[in-house]
Amino acid sequence: MSTTILLTSFQTWLPDHKSNASDDLLLKIQQESNPFPEQAISLAYLRQLPVDVFPASDLAIAEIEHLQPDVVICCGMAESRSRLTVEAGATPLYLVAQVYWLVYYIVLQKIFSFKGLSYYLSAFLGNKINIQTHFLNTSVDLEELLQGLTETEISYDAGKFVCEGLYYQVLSYLRDYSPTTGCIFVHVPLLTPENLSTILTDFRLIISRIAVWAMIQRQNQIRQTTTAA
């Protein structure tokens, strides 16, 4: 059985950006004819999401509902970092920096997702946000996933901006509607001729290993269902 993996990336958001490193990386993988010849992996792409939590989350969740992937790998650019970083989880603290997006979303958008908005409002309207309580962890074992990789490390700070917002909303959605689907967020540094080869190698290994992780999850679920029956 093939493992379906949805990969997402962002558009640029500053005038001096010619491209977004997350999208550059996905394009490199997409251009390869058969990056995983020894595995049954089906890659689907949702590239160049808008740099805006609300529509980006709506688009990602709609694609997840349509595609029903085994794994979601969200990618974003981190200019200040020099290596790939995989985020351990996300908090709703991006809302502090995104209040104006909430106003924009409610006032100016004619159509929006009430399902997505429910997550934002529940976090935003709380009397006090306890970071530990609201930190949503990925269900993927990152220590095992990244073992031995030379250009990748675990991060515990997803950025408090659109990247963290998207990650938090996707994790929230999967927790409520598809708990067996895995999700990680990968921050991508600026790609250069010097780092491109090693980053591509690590990213391919991340995809390959998370596909194995998803296969094990499916097997465990089948085993549990059979035992329960």
- The amino acid occupying position 80 is S
Of 3.20.20.70, 3.30.230.20, 3.40.630.20, 3.90.230.10, which CATH number belongs to 3-228? Answer: 3.40.630.20
- In terms of C-beta density within 10 A (0-12 exposed, 13-18 middle, 19 or more buried), how is residue 40 classed? exposed
- The amino acid occupying position 222 is I
Tell me how far apart the alpha carbons of residues 109 and 95 are, in angstroms, rounded to a whole number.
18
**Dihedral angle at the C-alpha atoms of 137, 143, 146, 151, nearest 10 degrees?**
90
Tell me how far apart the alpha carbons of residues 52 and 98 are, in angstroms, rounded to a whole number.
9
Q: Summarize the chain as % helix, strand, coil (round to 5).
A: 45, 20, 35
Tell me how far apart the alpha carbons of residues 66 and 53 are, in angstroms, rounded to a whole number.
20
- The amino acid occupying position 9 is S
User: Which tens digits make up the pLDDT trace of 4-41?
Assistant: 999 999 999 777 778 999 999 999 999 998 899 999 99
If DSSP codes are grouped into helix, strand and coil, which group holds residue 52?
A: coil
User: Which tens digits make up the pLDDT trace of 179-218?
Assistant: 999 999 999 999 999 999 999 999 999 999 999 999 999 8
Percentage of residues in the chain having pLDDT higher than 90:
66
Helix ranges (DSSP H) in 142-195:
142-145, 162-177
**Cβ neighbours of residue 192 under 8 Å, at least 6 residues apart?**
none
Q: Which helix (H) or strand (E) covers residue 20, if one does?
A: none
Q: Which helix (H) or strand (E) covers residue 41, if one does?
A: strand 41-49
Q: Which helix (H) or strand (E) covers residue 44, if one does?
A: strand 41-49
User: Which tens digits make up the pLDDT trace of 106-136?
Assistant: 555 544 455 555 555 554 444 444 444 578 9
How open is the CA angle 6-155-135, to the nearest 5 degrees? 80
* pTM of the predicted model as reported, rounded to 2 decimal places: 0.84
